[in-house]
Amino acid sequence: MKTPASLFIVASLLTACGGGGSGSFIPPVAATGASTSASGSTADSGAGGNNAGGAGSTGTTTPVVETLPVLGVATGATLGNCASLAGFTFANTAITSASSIAAGTLTVAGKPIGAHCQVRGSMYSRTSPVDNQTYAIGFEMRLPVNWNGRYFYQANGGIDGSVATATGPVGGGGVLDNALNMGFAVISSDAGHQSPAPFFGIDPQARLDYGYQAVAKLTPMAKALIASAYGKGPDRSYFGGCSNGGRHTMVAMSRYPDDYDGFLVGDPGFRLPLAASANIVGAQNYNALATTPNDPSTGFTQAERTLVSNAVLAKCDALDGASDGLVQDTGACQAAFNLDRDVPTCSGARDGTCLSADQKQRIGRLFAGALDGGGKKFYASFPFDVGVNTNGWASWKFSSSLNLDSGAVAFIWQVPPENQVGFNGPNFTLTTSIDSILAKITATSTLYTESSLSFMTPPNPADLSRLKKRGAKVMAYHGTSDPIFSSDDTQDWYQQLMAANGGDASNFARFYRVPGMNHCSGGPTTDQFDMLTPLVNWVEKGETVDAVIASARGTGNAGGVNTDVPASWSASRTRPLCAYPKVARYKGSGDAEKAENFSCL
Query: Which residues are designated catalytic?
Result: 243, 482, 519
- How far apart, in whole angstroms, are the C-alpha atoms of residue 202 and residue 215? 20
Q: Provide the 8-state DSSP code for 528.
A: B
* 244-255 and 214-230 helices, crossing angle to 10°: 80
**What does DSSP say about strands 134-144 and 185-189: parallel, antiparallel, or unpaired?**
antiparallel
Helix or strand (DSSP H, E) at 180: helix 179-182
- How far apart, in whole angstroms, are the C-alpha atoms of residue 266 and residue 386? 20
- How far apart, in whole angstroms, are the C-alpha atoms of residue 326 and residue 330? 10
Give the list of residues 6+ apart from residue 81 with CB closer than 8 angstroms, or none: none
For 593, half-sphere exposure in the C-beta direction (CA atoms, 13 angstrom radius) is 12
What φ, ψ does residue 196 adopt, rounded to 5°? -80, 45
Q: Provide the 8-state DSSP code for 186.
A: E
- How far apart, in whole angstroms, are the C-alpha atoms of residue 183 and residue 230? 13
Strand, helix or coil at 54? coil
For 190-246, give the DSSP string. -TT-SSSSGGGGGSHHHHHIIIIIHHHHHHHHHHHHHHHHHSS--SEEEEEEETHHH
- Nearest residue to 511 (alpha-carbon basis) of 456, 583, 567, 452: 583
Residue type, position 210, single letter: Y
Q: Provide the 8-state DSSP code for 393.
A: H
Residue 281 CB neighbours (<10 A): 23
Q: Provide the 8-state DSSP code for 549.
A: E
Residue 86 burial class via C-beta count within 10 angstroms: exposed 0-12, middle 13-18, buried 19 and up: middle
CB 222 within 8 A of CB 142: no
Output Rg (C-alpha) for the chain, integer angstroms.
Answer: 23
Residues paired with residue 100 on neighbouring β-strands, in sequence order: 117
- Give residue 160's region: left, alpha or beta (phi > 0; psi -120 to 50): left
Give the list of residues 6+ apart from residue 348 with CB closer than 8 angstroms, or none: none
E-assigned strand segments in 396-508: 473-479
Helix or strand (DSSP H, E) at 293: none
Residue 365 CB neighbours (<10 A): 16
CB 150 within 8 A of CB 235: yes
